[in-house]
Amino acid sequence: MTDLWQDAMDHAVSAARGAGQVVREALLEDRMVMVKSSSVDLVTQTDQKVEQLIIQSVKEKFPTHRFIGEESVAAGEPCVLSDEPTWIIDPIDGTTNFVHRFPFVAVSIGFSVNKQVEFGVVYSCLEDKMFTARRGRGSFCNGDPLQVSDQKAIKQSIIATEFGSDRDPEVVDKIFSSLRNILCIPVHGIRSAGTAAINMCLVASGCVEAYYEIGMHVWDLAAASLIVSEAGGVLMDVEGGPFDLMSRRVIAANNRTIAERISGEIQAYAPARDDAAAPGADP
Ligand SMILES: O=P(O)(O)OC[C@@]1(O)O[C@H](CO)[C@@H](O)[C@@H]1O
Ligand SMILES: [Mg+2]
Ligand SMILES: [Mg+2]
């Protein structure tokens, strides 16, 4: 049977590796920092340049494919996940880390058809770790198979989360309330890589038992969601229902028991969905 998407996945790996080289070179220069939704939601010309390089390279090979790119959406492109083959791109996940030279910076490229992720590529470009997954064919890091942690007890676990870029005191109170509840289970520790994609690859690698967050976007999650599930992990909404790529809410865990326990401790809220502005979106 013809393997429809292997050529596209091979291109994604090559594009992510090339983008990582651009990121590493940019780290040697001064970076002009701009802001988006708030004074702590950063973007640089490197984010924009890398996204355009990836999108242009894909358009040359797959001219009918669609795109959801973080910086294209920021510039006004619609954020619509259709049934069409769609490349879901975060050119730099961890821009704040990139600006501060904190060494966790990822290029994330997900690919969906019929709203289902067919492959995911996350390149941690300062670690030179290429995380990949193809639906139904497992997850890998630099070609080595990945498997989530076999830890069953949350009290023997490390949990990853992030603080996001929303500084609204009411939102911050919810974030810290959830954090306190989970820390006081107690768990062994809480960790933040500063990038959702790498946090989720740490779940897939068995380095942390779970990651949860409210507020990130589809481009942070798409590729890594498949890397987690193909490593034997589970994905869930923060209130325990099914994971929804466009909801800006996720629990990614090594097993359902730990995911459900985390869900029970989170003070949930619902940010505006990524597809909220899409034509025909539910109000
Ligand atoms: O804007 P970026 O760098 O692409 O992504 C922002 C981000 O790093 O910030 C959040 C942590 O607060 C993560 O969920 C997300 O991955
Ligand atoms: Mg991101
Ligand atoms: Mg980004």
Max Cα–Cα distance, the chain, nearest Å: 55
Given pLDDT bands bounded at 50, 70 and 90, which one contains residue 1? low
Residue 139: its H or E element = strand 139-141
Residues 89, 77: contact at Cβ < 8 Å?
Answer: no
pLDDT greater than 60 at residue 283: no
- What integer is the mean pLDDT of 128-133? 98
Domain(s) labelled CATH 3.40.190.80 in the chain stretch across 154-264
List pLDDT tens digits, range 152-199.
Answer: 999 999 999 999 999 999 999 999 999 999 999 999 999 999 999 999
Verdict on whether the full-model pTM lies above 0.95: yes
Q: Has 282 been labeled as part of a binding site?
A: no
Domain 154-264: CATH architecture, name and number where available: 3-Layer(aba) Sandwich (3.40)
Choosing from 48, 216, 221, 247 the residue with most ligand 1 atoms within 8 A of its CB, the one to mutate for a pocket test is 216
- The answer, yes or no, to whether any atom of ligand 1 lies below 6 A from the CB of 166, is no
Percentage of the chain exceeding pLDDT 70: 97
Domain(s) labelled CATH 3.30.540.10 in the chain stretch across 5-145
> Ligand 3 centre from 257 Cα, in Å?
31
- The answer, yes or no, to whether any atom of ligand 1 lies below 6 A from the CB of 90, is yes
Collapse the DSSP code of 223 into the 3-class scheme (helix H, G, I; strand E, B; otherwise coil) and give the result.
helix
Domain 5-145: CATH architecture, name and number where available: 2-Layer Sandwich (3.30)
Strand partners, 7: none
CA–CA dist 38, 167 (Å, integer): 8
pLDDT of res. 3: 82
State phi, psi for 234 to the nearest 5 degrees.
Answer: -120, 150
List pLDDT tens digits, range 69-114.
Answer: 999 999 999 999 999 999 999 999 999 999 999 999 999 999 999 9
State phi, psi for 24 to the nearest 5 degrees.
Answer: -60, -40
Q: Which residue, judged by its Cα, is nearest atom 2 of ligand 1?
A: 93
